[in-house]
Amino acid sequence: MPDLAHLYFRTAILFLIAGICVGIYMSMSGNHAVTGAHAHINLLGWVTSALFGTYLALNPAKASGLLPRLQYFVYVIGVIAMGTSLYLMLDGNTALVPVVAAASLVAFAGVLLFAVIIFMPART
Ligand code: HEM
């Protein structure tokens, strides 16, 4: 398995741990205000990262070069920034709305870069 695919799985499991911690916090406290952050950390962080890692594991030629590494950093930084700022915003820090918006665009840029990786021809 390419190093980048392995890195994606390591990152994904950390997002799952964080997402479940938020879920357990909500369950124990009865405060479900941060449901949106929980859902996005789990779905963008755990599920999507694991899918990106799976694709790269199945297509090792797509995992080499600068673009896949750039995509990883853009996507992961975007999801960390979005998950954190969304949690704080839903917890009452409404001033963070522009930060959530900016972080969302960074995460989306990571998704668009992955689309380029999928559509580009594999390096031989
Ligand atoms: C031990 C693990 C988990 C716990 C304790 C937990 C707990 C919760 C809680 C308390 C809510 C709020 C429900 C509400 O307010 O109606 C919620 C919502 C949600 N969770 Fe989890 N969760 C867990 C794992 C996951 C995982 C692994 C995923 C996705 C891969 C996930 C996706 C979602 C989504 C999408 C929602 C929003 C549902 C909606 O608003 O209709 N959760 N979770």
Reported pTM: 0.94
| pLDDT for the residue numbered 60 | 96
Cα(22) to ligand 1 centroid in Å equals 9
CA 16 to chain CA centroid, Å, is 10
Cα(70) to ligand 1 centroid in Å equals 30
Residue 43 lies in a domain: yes
Give the residue, by CA position, lying nearest to ligand 1 atom 37: 39
The pLDDT tens digits for 49-89 are 999 999 999 999 999 999 999 999 999 999 999 999 999 99
Residue listed under structure tokens 């499991």: 13
Atom of ligand 1 nearest to the CA of 46: 30
Q: Is the pLDDT of residue 104 over 90?
A: yes
Cα(35) to ligand 1 centroid in Å equals 7
Residue 108 lies in a domain: yes
* Number of neighbours of residue 111 by Cβ within 10 angstroms: 16
Residue 72 lies in a domain: yes
Over residues 99-122, mean pLDDT: 97
Residue 50 lies in a domain: yes
Give the residue, by CA position, lying nearest to ligand 1 atom 35: 39
Residue 124 lies in a domain: no
Q: Which residues of 56-85 are buried (b: 16+ CB within 10 A; e: fewer)?
A: bbeeeebbeeebbeebbebbbebbbbbbbb
Residue 92 lies in a domain: yes
The domain containing residue 27 runs over which residues?
Answer: 3-119
The pLDDT tens digits for 10-49 are 999 999 999 999 999 999 999 999 999 999 999 999 999 9
Residue 40 lies in a domain: yes
Give the residue, by CA position, lying nearest to ligand 1 atom 39: 35
Count structural domains, the chain.
1
Give the residue, by CA position, lying nearest to ligand 1 atom 6: 23
In DSSP notation, 83-99 reads HHHHHHHHTT-GGGHHH
Q: What is the rounded CA–CA span in Å between residue 19 and residue 11?
A: 12
Residue 14 lies in a domain: yes
